Structure 1
Amino acid sequence: MGQRERLEAFRIRRAAVLVLVLFLLIASMTSCSVHALLVRMTPNTQTTAQATHSTSAKKPAKKTAKTNQHKTAKKTKPETKQSQEEQAVAKAVSAQSAALGDDEKTAILNKAQETAQNSGKPVTQYHYCIATKGNVGSADEFGNAAFRILNDEHGWPRAGAIFDQSTDGNCDFNLVLSQASEMTSFSPSCSVEYSCRVDNNVIVNDDRWNGGTQQWLAAGGNLARYRTMVINHEVGHRLGHIDNETTCAGEGQLAPLMQEQSMHLDGCKVNEYPLDSELWIG
C-alpha cells in the first residue's frame, strides 16, 4: 500500500471515530434531559394531588363546624330563657327582703291604710313581733319581706287590716321563721313539712320559705309568689280563717288563699292573695 492509500484510510477511521463520539454525546444529553423533565413533573403531580386531597378534606370540615354551631345554638336558646326566668325570680325574692328605709316604710304603710279605709270595712291595725328559731339566717330580711307582703294593697288591707312591726315588744302575734326540724316544738300538730299557726305564733317553715313546694312550682308559681302566699295564708289563720274554708271553684280559676295550696290546687291556679269572698276578719 502506497503512502497515499495509507493517508486516506487514516482519514476515514478518524471520521468514523468522530461520528461515533458525537453520536454517544447526543444520546447522553438526550437521556439527561428526559430524566430532568420527569423529575420536575413528579413533585408537581404530587403537590396537585395533595392540594386536591386537602381541598376535599376542608369542605366537609367546614360543613361539620357549621352544623355543630347550629346544634349548639339550638341547645343554648332554651337554657338562656330558663336562666332569664331564674334571674327574674331571684331579683323578685331579693327585692322582697331588701332593707327598708323610713321613707319607703311610711309610703307602704300609708298605701295600706288608704286601701283599708277604702274597703268599706272597719280598719284594724295589728302589731307583730319578728322571731326566728333554729338556723334560718337573717331575721331582718324575713321581717322586711313580711312587712311588704302584709301591707300589699292586694292583700289583707282589702279586708281592713294593716300591719306594723312592734317596737316595744307588745305584739298581737309573733311571726316566726323556724327551722323545719323545730316546727313540732311549737305543737305536735305542726309538721316538719309545712308552716303552722299555734295560738299567737304564726310559724313559717324555713324549708318552704326557701324552696316552696313541688305542687306550687309545678302549677306555675315561683318562690317570690310562694312567700307571699304562705305569709298571707298563715296570718289569715290569726285573723280567724281556717284551712280549706273554701276550695277550688273550678278548673282554671284562682285558688282561694285559705285553701292548702302547698298540698293541693285541685285544678285551680296558684294565688297568693285573699279572694273577694275571703275579705273578712273574725
Structure 2
Amino acid sequence: MPQSGAGTFTTARTTGTAVGTGGELRRYRVQVEDGVDVSATEAAGEIERILAHPRGWAAHGRGRFQLVTENADFVIRIATPDTADRLCAAEGMNTHGELNCETTTGVVVNLKRWLLGSPTFAGPASEYRHLIINHEVGHEIGLRQHMACPGPGRLAPVMMQQIKGLNGCRSNAYPYDEDGIYITGPLVS
C-alpha cells in the first residue's frame, strides 16, 4: 500500500438509483486517488451498498443517497495517507496518516484504513469500511459531535471515534442495531 500518491483522482463513472426512506436526497460522487490498486467503480459499488444497508442511515429515514458522476452534493475520496493528511489539514484536522475526515466538499477516506481496517475494530476490513462510510456520512447529514461509549459491553455508536479506542464498548459499524434502534452514547464535547 503506497504512503503517498499523485494527489489526483479518478471519478467512478457509474450511477445508481436513490436509496432511502426519507430525508433530504444527497447525491454523492466517488473518487479514488490515481495510482493506487483500488478500482473507483468497485469502490463506488461498495459504498452504494453500504449506504443502502438495512442498518444504515438511508433505511431509517436519516437521508436518501444517490451515486452520481456529476452535480454531486458531496464527494467521497479514497486517498493515500499523505494525500488524506493534506486534504484534512486544509480543514484544520491532523489525521496523522491514520484517520479519515469530513471536509467542506465531502468525505476523505484514508486508503490505509480502507484496505486494512483498524487495530481496535473486531472484524474484517470490509466491515470496517461500513464504519468509515457511516461515521463520515453521519457528519455529512449533520451529526457534528462525536459520541462516547454508552457502557461496558454495549455496542459502540457509529459516531464514536472507535479507532481511538473502544473504552469497554464492542466494535460496531452501523448506526442502528438489528431491531432498528439507533445506537447512541454520550456526546463528546
Whose radius of gyration is greater, 1 or 2? 1
Instruction: Kindly state the Cα deviation for residue 201 of structure 1 after the two structures are TM-superposed.
Output: 2.1
CA RMSD of aligned residues (A): 2.1
Whole-angstrom distance in 1 between the partners of 2:138 and 2:104: 12
Equivalent residue, structure 1, for 2:115: 210
Greater relative contact order (Cα 8 A, min sep 6): structure 1 or 2?
A: 2
Instruction: Kindly state the Cα deviation for residue 134 of structure 1 after the two structures are TM-superposed.
Output: 4.3
Matches within 5 A, 1:1-282: 109=18, 112-113=19-20, 116=21, 122-136=22-36, 137-157=38-58, 158-167=60-69, 169-188=70-89, 189-191=93-95, 192-216=97-121, 220-244=122-146, 246-275=147-176, 276=182
Whole-angstrom distance in 1 between the partners of 2:126 and 2:172: 12
Instruction: Assess if the C-alpha contact under 8 Å between 2:88 and 2:108 holds in 1.
Output: no
Deviation readout 1:159-182 (Å, 9 max, x if unpaired): 331211114x10110010101111
Runs of 4 or more, structure 1, over 3 Å off, are: none
Instruction: Kindly state the Cα deviation for residue 153 of structure 1 after the two structures are TM-superposed.
Output: 1.8
Whole-angstrom distance in 1 between the partners of 2:83 and 2:23: 35
Structure 2: runs of 5+ lacking an equivalent: 1-13, 177-181, 185-189
**Larger helix share, 1 or 2:** 1
Paired letter, 1:239 = I
Whole-angstrom distance in 2 between the partners of 1:200 and 1:170: 12
Whole-angstrom distance in 2 between the partners of 1:135 and 1:263: 29
Instruction: Kindly state the Cα deviation for residue 238 of structure 1 after the two structures are TM-superposed.
Output: 0.9
Deviation readout 1:208-249 (Å, 9 max, x if unpaired): 000011111xxx3221210111111111111111352x2111
Paired letter, 1:166 = V
Structure 1: runs of 5+ lacking an equivalent: 1-100, 117-121
Paired letter, 1:271 = N
TM-score by length of 2: 0.77
Whole-angstrom distance in 2 between the partners of 1:123 and 1:154: 16
Whole-angstrom distance in 2 between the partners of 1:243 and 1:202: 16
Equivalent residue, structure 2, for 1:37: none
Whole-angstrom distance in 1 between the partners of 2:94 and 2:105: 14
Instruction: Assess if the C-alpha contact under 8 Å between 1:134 and 1:182 holds in 2.
Output: no
TM-score by length of 1: 0.53
**Larger strand share, 1 or 2:** 2
SS at match of 1:145: helix
